[in-house]
Each structure stands twice: as structure tokens, then as C-alpha cells.
Homo-oligomer: A and B are copies of this chain.
Amino acid sequence: MEFSFYLGMIAAVITTVAFLPQVIKAHKTKKTGDLSLLMYVLFTIGVGLWAIYGAIIGSWPVLLSNIIIFALNLYILFLKIKHG
């Protein structure tokens, strides 16, 4: 495997797990007032499209990482709508 492959994999893992601390924080504190609703609406739609893009071009890293990011962002969005 080439260096770029490993770099892409590391980048995919880091940008995926990055949303976990925000999920845990929002879930625990039930405070989402400082989060931007529009950011999470747009970002959830965007990563959903990235996942479809990954499926079409046959890229498992793009597909899998974006499915996980999509799910995490959907939950943050749910908490934001719930708690305001």
C-alpha cells in the first residue's frame, strides 16, 4: 500500500472519531444552545451525500467513515432539536 492510502485512512479515522466527544458532551449535559442548528442540518446532509458518493465510486473508506459521521451528526442534530 502507498503512503497516501495510509494517510487517507488515518485522516478518515480521526475526522470520524472527532464527533464522538461532541456526542458524549451534548448527551451528558443536555446543553446544545451554543451549537449551530444550521451547521448540523447542512453537515448531516453533506456527509449523507459523501456516503452515496463513496458507494458509487466504490470507495469503502469514504462510504464507511461517512455513514458513521452521518449517524453521529444525526444524533447531535436530534439533541439540538430536543434541547434547543
Which residues does A use to contact B, with CB under 8 Å?
A: 3-4, 7-8, 10-11, 14-15, 17-22, 24-26, 29, 31-40, 42-43, 45-47, 49-50, 52-53, 56-57
- Whether the Cβ atoms of B19 and A49 lie closer than 8 Å is no
| Shortest beta-carbon contacts, A-B, top 5 | A15-B46, A14-B46, A18-B42, A11-B49, A34-B34
Q: How many copies does the complex hold?
A: 2
Q: Which applies to chain A's interface (DSSP): helix, strand, loop or mixed?
A: helix
A-B contact pairs, 7 of them (CB 8 A): A8-B53, A14-B46, A15-B43, A21-B39, A25-B34, A25-B36, A35-B35
Q: How far is the CA of A34 from the CA of B28 in the complex (A)?
A: 11
